[in-house]
């Protein structure tokens, strides 16, 4: 790797003597590899971060979830159920072909129907009734009733080149022929599990990026990632472990960048089936009665979790206990929901009242490479549940395997995470809405929890144009979900990055590591 000048102050000196087009190469280390270069294959933060380097959406998303112009330079509602978008003139794909409205139409038709998606983009297209071309630069999207969140949804969908993708599939993105976008970087190569290589798009419509060549390396192990940073093998890392913050802060050539995250760490439970694959009685014999279907058992599990202990002892204070699915400062969060206090005796009483005072066995899956201390958190939660008689076998695995198997409903319990985009609809629609692939609701509802009152409140919110009324409905939906413990909120993470001194990174609530946010400090 070419890493000229990475001594203290080296970046500033390098930039002082070089033009933008001559800037150096950059290598960053991430926790988790992308699962595909296909930007519509999987609603998954590593994939979204990869996509934003290669592709653009109609709207861009700022570091705190704010909507910004993207391929659409203007957008507006022209009726309660119609949004109009005007395309930015002069935008071209990496192969020189001009972007047209037909590319947008093709994209919106393809995004929700990509085969074998572990978490479908249908959640972002569910309100689209039809797309109409007004003129070569303008399109109108008619929705199934009022859809105030449509701009937020469209900001999540990368626009692809119809001429490059038509007749091709996900494998063609992964190999490169279909990976032609309008974004700041061109796809060069991807070796899954090893590295993704990108090159700056010299003709990018926002202006060329300063870094000529970018290498993104997945390094799942926290210690190895920190060691790569300390040794100078990489120029930026994400997911700084709490235990390594003091050492990195003290290093003369390293800077830290942090912000509160949109990520909720949660537990999803199989509340739909009488027979669940990981449920057994205390002797280990599989049961035909699933205790997780009882709301009192789900409430007991929540009460048995010592959230403050997880935050302070295991996570070193780099998290906040959660009582709902949105940080309290995000519009649509409920002012009435606070983190549930640890209540061991209350949990035992709930289990006894539900007829499970003698306990039961359960298998809980988790990732071991997705968010800080994920496997350790799962083990700690398992130990907490054991104190109330729920003997929990924790099975950590790579995140890609967890999501794929979870989507096939192979688990009775999962500890996982969801990164929102600053829009209250994101976790509520994806994680808790009644699963319905025809409408795009509940695509990541891997416990198949279903509650009619929740669906009604969420559905009304999704159709309400008035901001204050819509946010009140989102809050009401969250209150219903917490009361019924459809998904157990555990904590919100704090995002952290380390870079070389002389560089600065624009920390993001959605935890994406974007080279576009990495700049010289001077």
Residue 143's pLDDT is: 96
- Taking residues 443-460, what's their average pLDDT? 96
Alpha carbons 400 and 413: distance in angstroms, whole number: 17
What percent of the residues of the chain are helix, what percent strand, and what percent coil, each to the nearest 5?
30, 25, 45
Alpha carbons 103 and 367: distance in angstroms, whole number: 36
Q: Name the phi and psi angles at 368, rounded to 5.
A: -130, 15
- Taking residues 2-7, what's their average pLDDT? 28
Instruction: Say if residue 8's pLDDT is above 60.
Output: no
Alpha carbons 231 and 187: distance in angstroms, whole number: 27
- Taking residues 16-29, what's their average pLDDT? 62
- In percent, the amount of the chain with pLDDT more than 90 equals 81
Q: Is this structure's pTM higher than 0.95?
A: no
- In percent, the amount of the chain with pLDDT more than 70 equals 95
Two structure tokens written together for 202: 């010299």
Given the structure tokens 């198949």, which residue do they identify? 448
Q: Name the phi and psi angles at 273, rounded to 5.
A: -105, 140
Alpha carbons 488 and 499: distance in angstroms, whole number: 34
- Taking residues 168-193, what's their average pLDDT? 98
Tens digits of per-residue pLDDT, 379-388? 999 999 999 9
Residue 260's pLDDT is: 84
Residue 17's pLDDT is: 35
- Taking residues 77-83, what's their average pLDDT? 94
Residue 15's pLDDT is: 37
Residue 327's pLDDT is: 87
Question: pLDDT confidence of 439, banded at 50, 70, 90?
Answer: confident
Burial class for 46, CB neighbours closer than 10 Å (0-12, 13-18, 19+): buried
Alpha carbons 490 and 321: distance in angstroms, whole number: 6
Residue 217's pLDDT is: 98
- Taking residues 77-91, what's their average pLDDT? 96
Instruction: Say if residue 402's pLDDT is above 80.
Output: yes
SS3 state of residue 312: helix
Tens digits of per-residue pLDDT, 412-426? 999 999 987 778 898
Delineate the domains of the chain, giving CATH numbers in brackets: 10-218 (3.40.190.10), 262-493 (3.10.105.10)
Candidate from 22-26, 232-236, 480-484 with smallest mean pLDDT: 22-26
Given the structure tokens 């700041």, which residue do they identify? 184
Alpha carbons 473 and 457: distance in angstroms, whole number: 6
Q: Name the phi and psi angles at 64, rounded to 5.
A: -110, 25
Query: What is the per-residue DSSP string for 407-474?
Result: HTT--SEEEEEEE--S-THHHIIIIISPPBTTTTB-TT-TT----HHHHHHHHHHHT--SHHHHHHHH
Alpha carbons 431 and 451: distance in angstroms, whole number: 12
- Taking residues 293-305, what's their average pLDDT? 97
């Amino acid at each position: 790797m070419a890493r000229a000048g990475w001594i203290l102050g080296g970046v500033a000196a390098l930039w002082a003597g070089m033009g933008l087009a001559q800037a150096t190469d950059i290598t960053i280390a991430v926790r988790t590899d992308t699962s595909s270069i296909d930007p519509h294959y999987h609603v998954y933060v590593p994939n979204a971060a990869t996509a934003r380097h290669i592709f653009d959406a109609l709207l861009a998303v700022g570091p705190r979830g704010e909507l910004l112009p993207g391929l659409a330079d203007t957008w507006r509602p022209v009726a309660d159920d119609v949004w109009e978008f005007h395309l930015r003139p002069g935008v071209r794909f990496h192969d020189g072909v001009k972007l047209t409205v037909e590319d947008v139409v093709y994209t919106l038709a393809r995004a929700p129907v990509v085969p074998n998606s572990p978490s479908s983009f249908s959640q972002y297209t569910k309100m689209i009734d039809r797309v109409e071309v007004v003129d070569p630069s303008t399109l109108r999207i008619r929705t199934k009733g009022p859809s105030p969140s449509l701009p937020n949804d469209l900001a999540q969908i990368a626009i692809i080149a119809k001429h490059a993708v038509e007749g091709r599939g996900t494998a063609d993105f992964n190999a490169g022929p279909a990976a032609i976008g309008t974004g700041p970087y061109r796809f060069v190569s991807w070796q899954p599990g090893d590295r993704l290589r990108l090159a700056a798009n010299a003709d990018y419509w926002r202006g060329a990026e300063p870094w000529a060549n970018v290498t993104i390396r997945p390094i799942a192990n926290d210690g190895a990632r920190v060691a790569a940073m300390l040794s100078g093998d990489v120029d930026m890392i994400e997911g700084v472990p709490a235990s390594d913050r003091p050492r990195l802060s003290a290093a003369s050539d390293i800077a830290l960048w942090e912000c509160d995250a949109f990520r909720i760490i949660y537990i999803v439970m199989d509340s739909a089936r009488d027979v669940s694959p990981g449920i057994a009685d205390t002797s280990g014999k599989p049961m035909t009665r699933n205790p997780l279907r009882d709301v009192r058992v789900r409430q007991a599990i929540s009460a048995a979790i010592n959230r403050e202990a997880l935050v302070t002892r295991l996570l070193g204070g780099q998290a906040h206990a959660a009582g709902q699915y949105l940080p309290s400062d995000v519009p649509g969060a409920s002012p009435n929901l606070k983190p549930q206090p640890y209540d061991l005796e209350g949990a035992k009483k709930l289990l006894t009242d539900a007829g499970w005072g003698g306990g039961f066995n359960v298998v809980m899956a988790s990732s071991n490479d997705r968010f800080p201390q994920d496997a350790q958190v799962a083990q700690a939660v398992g130990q907490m549940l054991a104190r109330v008689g729920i003997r929990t076998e924790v099975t950590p695995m790579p995140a890609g395997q967890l999501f794929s198997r979870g989507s096939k409903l192979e688990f009775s319990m999962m500890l996982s995470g969801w990164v929102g985009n600053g829009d209250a609809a994101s976790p509520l629609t994806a994680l808790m809405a009644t699963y319905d692939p025809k409408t795009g609701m509940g695509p990541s509802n891997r416990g198949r929890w279903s509650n009619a009152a929740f669906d009604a409140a969420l559905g009304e919110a999704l159709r309400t144009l008035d901001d204050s009324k819509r946010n009140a409905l989102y809050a009401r939906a969250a209150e219903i979900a917490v009361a019924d413990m459809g998904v157990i909120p555990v904590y919100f993470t704090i995002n952290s990055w380390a870079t070389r001194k002389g560089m600065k990174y624009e920390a993001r609530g959605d935890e994406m590591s974007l080279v576009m946010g990495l700049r010289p400090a001077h």
